[in-house]
Each structure stands twice: as C-alpha cells, then as structure tokens.
Amino acid sequence: MRPVNPGSPARWVVVMAAAGMTLGRPAPASSARRTPIVEAVQRALPTVVNIGTEQLVRVMPTDPIQQFRYEIFDRMFRDLLGQPPAPGYQVRHSLGSGVIIDPLGFILTNFHVIERATAIRVTLVDGRPFTAQLIAGDELSDLALIRIDPDGPLADIAFGRDDDLMLGEPVIALGNPYGLAHTVTAGVLSAKNREARHGDRVLFRDILQTDAAVNPGSSGGPLINADGELIGINVAILPEGQNIGFAVPVGRVRALLTEWLSPRNLKHIRLGMDLTERDGRIAIAAVESGGPAAQAGLRVGDRLTALEGRAPGTLLDVHRRFLRVRPGDRLSCTVDRGGRPVVAEMIVAAVRPPDGRALAAARLGVELAEPPAGDPFRGGLVITGVRAGGPAARAGLREGLRLLRIAGRAVRTIEDVGTILDAATPGTTVWLSVASFDLGDGFLLARTQSVPVSLE
C-alpha cells in the first residue's frame, strides 16, 4: 500500500473517516472488545486537541543547546509538513497536539510546537476552532502552556502519579500524527529515567521511553496509562530506530504547571501569601504584610488542611482551584497551627497593575511598544529603545528585536512586562527570549536567542 501524501485529497478522506468513527454506536459494556485500553482512550481522547497555524515560523536559535534541540524537531517537521508553501501563500498547517489540563481552557503542549506559529490555532475533538494565547513556556523542558476561551467547561485530563510507573505496563499515545486527527497508538512503558544529553552535559535524567508509535504531529499529545491518566507528554522520536518514542514525565509537567498556574504568576487575584509543598503537605511560605492572608490572621508555617471545606490535594490542585476565585470573593481556609486547627476567612483582593513601561525602563533599560498593525508575527513587544550602559545594552540587545518571554513567561502586552518585573528582585538575573524576523520562502524566519540580564 503506497503512503498517503499529507497534502493529497486521499488524506482528507482518511481524516474524515477517522472522525466519523468516533460518532458510531459504542460496543455494549459487556463486550469483550471493551478492553481497559478502549475505556482509557474513551476517557482521555476528548481532552486531546490539534494545534496549527496559518503561517509557519522557521526558528534559528543562537544558543548551542537550543540549536541541538531545534535540529531534532526540525527533522520531525520536515516529515510532517513536506515542502514549504510558495512565498506569500497563506495555508493552515497542523503543527502538533496538545492536551486540556483544566476545564477553563488551559492546554499543555510542546514548546517546539507553538514556537513555529505566528498565531496559535486550536481545534477541539468536536471540531470547534479557537485562537490560543501563550501563557508560559520552558524551552529546555520543551513544554508550553496555552489558553483558549471556550463558551463552557471542557473535558480535562486526569493526572497520574509519578512514583508508581511500572516498566512493561500498557501505555497509550494520543495525538495528531501527520495531521491525522485523534490517532491512538498503544504499547508499553519501555524505560524510565532516560538521560537527555547535549555533548557531555546531562540536561535531564527523567525521560520516559515507549514503543507506542509517536510520529511527527503527535508531539504535545498525552501519554496515558491504562486508567486514562496522564503520565507524560509526547515529545520526540528516535529517527534512527523504530517504535522508540520519548515523553516528558508527569512529575516535571506537574512541577511546571504548579508554578505557571500560581496566582503570583497569573496575577488574576491577590492573596498576599505564597504556598509551598513538601512531603505531600502544603504550608504557607510567606505572608505579605497588610495583605488578605495577613488580615485573615494566617501565618508563615501554617499547614493548609482544607480549602472551602475540602481537602487541598496537591499544590497544583490548589492553584487550579484558585483559577475560579475572583477579587471580592471570600475564601475559607483551615490550617494546622502547632497541632490545633485554625479557621480563617480572607477577602480576595484585586491585583494592582504595575507600570510596565516604567519598570522596563528602570530594570531592563529598554523602551517597548506593541507590534504595528498587520504584523505577521502576532506576539511579543518591539524593543524601540535601549539605554546606553543599561542591563539590556550590556547583554547585547538592540532596537528592533522582539521581546518574547521574560523568565520563561510570555510577553504579550506592556502589562505582562510590569507583572513579571514587579515580582522580580532587583539584582537578580533573568533570561530574556528575543527574536528578529524576516520573511522568505513562504516561512517567517525567526532568529532567536536567550540572554541573561541582571535587573537594576
């Protein structure tokens, strides 16, 4: 049987047939065909999304490690996309997959999937399209958090544990390989704690390996266990081998999401306290003087035992519950203080937006502006001025570059810059991701670099 050209009409027949099969009458519950794998897929598949764009960005990193990372994924994209479109021709490209991690529209994917998009387009399993915004990303972990604005709650993936994975247990990779929507492949967990290396440097020692087929376009989709729980995010294949795929483990996924979804990072509410998690317990690590937590009588060291009358779960669970809290809400907390329970009720405050332009000028030494109307790359802020001798100038930044991220967090507006810099401590070093752009051969060419800047 000849291979299907992803750009041919035959490909669309396959996609439509696959989508139609999801609408068929399910087998009876007593059927021998309804295996644990089938049930796991039925639970998890509605959480899988396709991620695409109208115009591609060809990225050229300057950092050696990022070049190595990019070269790996560039081979996958060449397989997925074939030849680039003619110059100036707008076409919708399927870049990869993602998984819904919260009903409010938060989606996790690979960083290398969204970094090639001028505008991130998300298509749900029912065919509804959305435009997404980048919330945060980690280039080294190759994970990114994006968000859409649905008109109702979405199905979200359940998280598995990271301490009970078993070699040989069944695993399932879900995604959109070669743009073929909602594909299911099954295998086993082949290995844990594989090393990710660059030269002599070990970047990570926690990578999962599976023989479930992970093809170009599956990147960013979930790797699930037989209970339908997320145990990893599909990230790469070994081109030289067959049926060798890799995934970022759920432990690292959970750690990054816990940070990215915290009120301090999202800045949608002000609680006046920071929480920490240790040995499965959540405690108050810091209390802002005069803030809502302090006014409610909460103290550093208090251990959270209930939130609105319910057990807190993990710190990620708590931060996800905070997503539904708004300024003015009353939030009931029960804490353990020296062995005795204390109930406190705080009134959630609004975040006072800092002056992003002033902070950018004072701490980075740059002037920033929104991109001009009609700009093909819809993201970041343009550096319009660099103060001589300032932090940005010492790092080699110049006018005309596009500021994309500060400390891994996406920069879309001047307010984003103010929020991030206001939370940073003067004198500390943050990494800025910047890019320059050129249009050629139907691709938007992005030359990217990450530079350390010491804040003033």
Structural domain count, the chain? 3
Is residue 112 part of the annotated active site? The answer reads: yes
Q: Which of 112, 141, 156, 162 is catalytic?
A: 112
Distance CA 398, CA 434 (A): 10
Name the DSSP letter for residue 63.
S
Asked whether residue 281 falls in the same domain as residue 261, the answer is no
Domain boundary residue among 265, 280, 303? 265
5-14, 165-174, 276-285, 304-313 — which is least confidently predicted?
5-14
User: Would 375 be classed as within a structural domain?
Assistant: yes
Packing angle of the helix pair 315-322, 250-260 (nearest 10 deg)? 40
Distance CA 376, CA 103 (A): 30
User: Would 29 be classed as within a structural domain?
Assistant: no
User: What is the pLDDT at residue 22?
Assistant: 45
Asked whether residue 164 falls in the same domain as residue 234, the answer is yes
- Per residue in 336-382, pLDDT (tens digit) is 999 999 999 999 999 888 899 999 999 999 999 988 877 766 678 99
Q: What CATH number is attached to the domain comprising 97?
A: 2.40.10.120
In the predicted model, what is the mean pLDDT of the chain? Answer: 81
Asked whether residue 406 falls in the same domain as residue 285, the answer is no
Asked whether residue 304 falls in the same domain as residue 317, the answer is yes
- Collapsing DSSP states into helix, strand and coil, what is residue 390? coil
Asked whether residue 221 falls in the same domain as residue 178, the answer is yes
Q: Which of 142, 156, 211, 302 is catalytic?
A: 142
User: What is the pLDDT at residue 169?
Assistant: 95
Asked whether residue 261 falls in the same domain as residue 203, the answer is yes
User: Would 23 be classed as within a structural domain?
Assistant: no
Write the CB contacts of 95 (distance below 8 Å, at least 6 apart in sequence): 51, 52, 53, 56, 77, 80, 113, 114, 116, 117, 217
Is residue 141 part of the annotated active site? The answer reads: no
Asked whether residue 232 falls in the same domain as residue 124, the answer is yes
> What is the residue range of 332's domain?
268-347
Is residue 219 part of the annotated active site? The answer reads: yes
Tokens of 453: 């800047």
28-37, 127-136, 257-266 — which is least confidently predicted?
28-37
User: Would 261 be classed as within a structural domain?
Assistant: yes
User: Would 24 be classed as within a structural domain?
Assistant: no
Asked whether residue 86 falls in the same domain as residue 43, the answer is yes
Asked whether residue 301 falls in the same domain as residue 208, the answer is no
- Per residue in 231-285, pLDDT (tens digit) is 999 986 655 556 788 899 999 999 999 999 999 888 889 999 999 998 889 999 9
Q: Which of 141, 218, 219, 262 is catalytic?
A: 219
Domain boundary residue among 303, 325, 347? 347
Asked whether residue 300 falls in the same domain as residue 404, the answer is no
Region 61-85: mean pLDDT is: 46
